[in-house]
Structure 1
């Protein structure tokens, strides 16, 4: 390109697109970004093809924040976009867990006059299924077919996988029947989805029967299906049979990968067979594979559960020398083990190490000064400012540095430590952690609130517990059954049965399909002290629902007995 420019030959934008694609094939992501950034140096404005290549590369490398900033820059340039642009970004947003943002972009696509194609519909259907919204995915499937699109095997299997993973197995079987009637063959992948769904629904006998039918009559199992079955056998405690299946698949020419070994290692750890689990770690390398972060996380978790914290800590420390970096799950496993062993100071130190990562200077630079990066929103703003000023390569390097720094504590990390503090009667430190996680841009979930409410009651700070419950009701995270059960238990322990009754009714009102007139009558009976009729009316309604939970009734009855 430099020679062309020196000889005053025109250098077209498509030449840069070709170069970007070449770098991408070589997995040189930074060079792709650099090439795009240098187009202006040659007097060229990026065309749509260049933007689409860059967006695709960024999404594939999980840099969705930077991808969205580049998309905004594309819109500001008044350049036309196409379906491919939207397909890449919608897929990236779904992958990043930004479900509503993905759906908003899908709506924006239609508002801008673009008609979604088969690929777009498939991306949305797959994304909704992965977000555990199979009914919404099914509605989108119906919209797609009503618009004249004929689904392919990828689309059908995505929908089948969504229903299976959400436990709606009977609906998934109906889908298979309808697909066959429409002439679609779900193939081995479809059967794997069904077997996986049956195992998740704890219907292992049916899963094993379907596997045998597939293996003996229909198709030859592949690595994915064998791994699913090994996990199923481990889940029901048949680890020896799972080990035999590993031998069987190897004899049939299907070589296990690290993920397959990890499933069996977890099975051994769950069964308390740590020696067998550790020997499998050595077995991985004999099959041309290497243990990964997940392998060590499983082993560290197993060691911690069995009280072998010293060995777990050593394995954690040795991970990087073995070519693995600890993930959030690895930190969580170790912090959980330390909390349960009562070593809260070491648990807090581990959290601090997790927060600053492997690059403390970068952590300090970003969290201090006028443009501090403390959460996802502030990071997004910084990246957008960089892209707007033309510093795309600088924004890319910042994000890569951040990903190399270490891992960000997730809500599970904080929940583990908060629970440890509450159990050790250190409620003040637990509340400070609660404030800290929110400052870090982490949203508390129902587990966080239930743990803290329970801890406050234990500390006889009933008023603060109720205040926190009220805060939760006003937040985006609404109380679930665990929160209401916690409130009911402590109300009963305080001999406040009327309060337990109110919490019970409030909980039932949040459940779908309940008759509000019946609940009003139940409430009146409770207020009048007519517990027999209140209980009879409530239970007559509740037992008709599939999601009926007898626990609140048991808690209330125990409380009533204690009060009398």
Structure 2
């Protein structure tokens, strides 16, 4: 044709280019495309450019594929999200992520995804790898801009969502990650357990244990079971931040889920609850631990409470242990009684001593006489008389109750 001076037109190019692609003659297609761009002749069928992009990528000639996109721009042919998507996908496959990110920048800057004329959408095989790369390399903000544009087009990809959460968590912006979680929740999109774990860790690194606890609750509500290390991290952070009751609620959740480790931290939380006057809450937690076959060190708790003058807490804990026949050493009885007597709480001392004698028999406590004397001085002569007769009456039924009453063994 050219030798006879006949110039190819758009029909010629439209007919020839697909056949060259099918025959794998990509060098020839590059020459023809260059000629078309130079002569400003566009083909009749714009789907040819899609075929050219795919063919060059299949031949692993990504530079030639980029030239196709440039030719489209020169010929004023609309470049759509799908065209960029083919290039982004193949640059990611070739691990040329810098080139993929440059294309993402163009897509974002020119609002290509949101173009009302766009009919060729970007596939998940394109946006997921580049979003994962961005989220793994400190560019989660850019990844989120891209994905929010996709979201407006109706894309609701769980993998992309979870990658954004992980990226924000790693970069120390857990609030942004939690906002993504909320969007997923509203749309009913599955949320990954690992994304929750990274979010919790991110809040803890920022020194925000209350928010970490909120994320933990959301994780559990979503049907995921955190491992004991996650529970421990949240409990420990809350405890160190002085949020003992919140730490206690996390402990309750952990035990109810059947995770019974981290007993050293559990003991600290129980002690702190009792020391702060939250006796009923502490006893409720102890009851849960016992029913879950967990060990509770009553002797250690009673000793600490008695030494620090927390006599009412010690009294309630001892009474709880006696009612449930828990394993408590006689020395612990004596410490509580001594503390009550020293604090002038003679009626309390009398009441718990009667229970001790009823449950465990006569103790080796040496301050009976001091208690009887104090009861008389305070006008509680009836109680003093009863206690005196109990001690001096050599009650055989009490003497025969030797040793300890055992239920759940206190470690």
Give the TM-score range, shorter chain. Answer: 0.3 to 0.5
TM-score, scaled relative to structure 1 = 0.26
- The alignment's TM-score, normalised by the length of structure 2, stands at 0.34
Structure with higher Rg: it is 2
Q: Which has the higher helix share?
A: 1
